């Protein structure tokens, strides 16, 4: 290895020769075969400085070089923050994400995210391009709390993202909105895309992606409602955008509504997940809202 972004191997006469993808997998065990295939297809693996195919035959004295993409070679720094684990097996983990923390490293949040906390907790994740990688199946907004699925390996990640696309992972939320919707129960069907006037937000647009959100009023008072919400698709900010579109934004959502005199964040919590795992086991997990949201519900809806 000449630097952090370049891995090299010189084939010797003692090596058992094989096709490139199989041979390289045997020499670089941190990579899965599918990862090696992707690196070959993106021309990041070469033999004697030549572009190859997965089926290229390895020969004695060949020089193999693997160039790691810059983004994937970034070291994830551990964060000393313990997360509430609601479910865990050898293939996946489900945590109860607290509000106020970003899920994934990004500009302005490089070392203080859920991903950094998972690394800091010492949970074993399969490596990707030589680095430990928590395999995020979906995300939650910074100020949304609740259940989050992280795969521990690529096979589980691929399976979960596949069944997620076919709506086989049921995700349910609790949300508190301004006002009382006209229908006690309804499905909001409106396409969502990037807001052309404000790139930080999403909006209802004809060019957007098909989006479905189901809600049911659980309780209401004179100026707000407690909803149970089911995501039927998974778009960025979907619940927040759809509820704003029908005139009932989430209380405390300053991006799609307005600042609240009651709370300091949006009152949205992912409380229930259900799906079948890779072994066809039924996984069902629930979590209660955080203290601020529980107290809000108790004071305004249960008194």
- Cα(12)–Cα(303) distance, rounded to whole angstroms? 77
Q: What is the average per-residue pLDDT within 57-74?
A: 78
Of 21, 62, 141, 253, which is the active-site residue? 141
Do residue 44 and residue 145 come from a single domain?
no
pLDDT at 71: 45
Whether residue 77 lies inside any domain: the answer is no
CATH of the domain at 21: 3.10.290.10
φ/ψ (deg, to 5) at 186: -165, 165
Which pLDDT tens digit goes with each residue over 179-206? 999 999 999 999 999 998 888 899 999 9
Nearest to 68 by CA among 10, 135, 133, 153: 133
Of 9-23, 134-148, 220-234, 266-280, the range with the lowest mean pLDDT is 9-23
State whether 59 and 93 are in the same domain.
no
Q: Is the pLDDT of residue 281 over 60?
A: yes
* pLDDT, position 77: 86
Q: How far apart are CA 190 and CA 233, in angstroms?
A: 11
Residue 1 lies in a domain: no
Model confidence at 70: pLDDT above 70: no
For residue 303 the two structure tokens come to: 């008194």
Kindly report the pTM of this predicted structure: 0.78
- The pLDDT of residue 2: 40
Same domain, residue pair 107 and 12: no
Whole-angstrom distance, CA of residue 42 vs CA of residue 38 = 6
Residue 72 pLDDT exceeds 50: no
Specify if 157 maps to a domain.
yes
For residue 298, name the pLDDT band (cuts at 50, 70, 90): very high
Which residues touch 162 (CB under 8 Å, ≥6 apart)?
Answer: none
Answer yes or no: is 179 within a domain: yes
Classify residue 81 as exposed, middle or buried by CB count within 10 Å of its CB (0-12, 13-18, 19+): middle
Per-residue pLDDT reduced to its tens digit, 140-175: 999 999 999 999 998 899 899 999 989 999 999 999
Domain co-membership, 11 together with 134: no
Same domain, 62 and 114: no
44 with 95, same domain: the answer is no
Q: Is the pLDDT of residue 73 over 50?
A: no
> How high is the pLDDT of residue 4?
52
Query: Tokens representing 133?
Result: 């990688």
Instruction: Give pLDDT, residue 35.
Output: 81
Q: What is the pLDDT of residues 2-26, one digit of tens each?
A: 445 788 999 998 888 889 999 998 8
Same domain, 39 and 160: no
Q: Give one DSSP letter per residue of 45-109, joined into a string.
A: EEETTEE--TTPBP-TT-EEEEEPPTGGGPPPPP-----EEEEE-SSEEEEEEPTT--SS-BTTB
Domain count, the chain: 2
Question: With pLDDT > 70 as the criterion, what percentage of the chain qualifies?
Answer: 95
Q: Among 27, 42, 68, where does a domain finish?
A: 68
Any idea what the CATH number is for the domain that residue 262 is in?
Answer: 3.30.2350.10
220, pLDDT greater than 70 = yes
- Which of 19, 44, 68 delimits the end of a domain? 68
Residues 205, 274, single domain; the answer is yes
- Same-domain check for residues 23 and 170: no
Same domain, 134 and 56: no
Q: Is residue 73 part of a domain?
A: no
The boundaries of the domain holding residue 60 are 6-68
Residue 213 forms part of a structural domain: yes
Average pLDDT of the chain is: 91
Domain for residue 249, yes or no? yes
Same domain for 219 and 289, yes or no, is: yes
**What token pair was written down for 88?**
């865990």
Q: What is the pLDDT of residue 120?
A: 93
Report helix angle 20-27 to 33-41, nearest 10.
120
> Is 79 part of a structural domain of the chain?
no
Is 112 among the residues known to form the active site?
no
pLDDT score of 63 more than 90: yes
pLDDT at 242 over 90: yes
88 with 204, same domain: the answer is yes
End residue of a domain, out of 44, 68, 92: 68
Query: Is it the case that residue 75 has pLDDT exceeding 60?
Result: yes
């Amino acid at each position: 290895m000449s630097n952090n972004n370049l891995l090299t191997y010189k084939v010797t006469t003692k090596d058992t020769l094989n096709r490139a993808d199989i041979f390289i997998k045997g020499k670089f065990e941190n990579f899965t075969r599918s990862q090696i295939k992707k690196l070959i297809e993106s021309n990041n693996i070469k033999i004697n400085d030549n572009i190859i195919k997965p089926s290229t035959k390895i020969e004695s004295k060949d020089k193999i070089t693997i160039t790691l993409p810059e983004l994937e070679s970034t070291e994830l720094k551990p964060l000393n923050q313990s997360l509430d684990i609601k479910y865990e097996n050898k293939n996946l983990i489900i945590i109860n994400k607290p509000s106020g923390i970003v899920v994934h490293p990004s500009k302005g949040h490089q070392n203080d995210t859920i991903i950094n906390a998972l690394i800091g907790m010492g949970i074993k994740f399969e490596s990707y391009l030589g680095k430990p990688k928590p395999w995020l199946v979906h995300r939650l907004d910074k100020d949304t709390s609740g259940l989050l699925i992280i795969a521990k390996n690529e096979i589980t990640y691929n399976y979960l993202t596949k069944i997620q696309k076919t709506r086989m992972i049921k995700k349910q939320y609790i949300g508190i909105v301004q006002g009382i919707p006209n229908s006690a129960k309804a499905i909001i069907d409106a396409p969502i895309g990037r807001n052309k006037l404000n790139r930080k937000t999403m909006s209802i647009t004809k060019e957007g992606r098909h989006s479905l959100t189901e809600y049911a009023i659980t309780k209401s008072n004179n100026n707000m409602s407690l909803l149970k919400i089911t995501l039927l698709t998974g778009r960025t900010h979907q619940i927040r955008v759809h509820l704003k579109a029908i005139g009932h934004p989430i209380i405390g959502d300053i991006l799609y509504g307005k600042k609240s005199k009651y709370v300091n964040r949006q009152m949205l919590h992912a409380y229930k997940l259900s799906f079948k795992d890779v072994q066809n086991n039924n996984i069902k997990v629930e979590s209660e809202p955080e203290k601020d949201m529980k107290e809000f519900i108790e004071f305004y809806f249960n008194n």
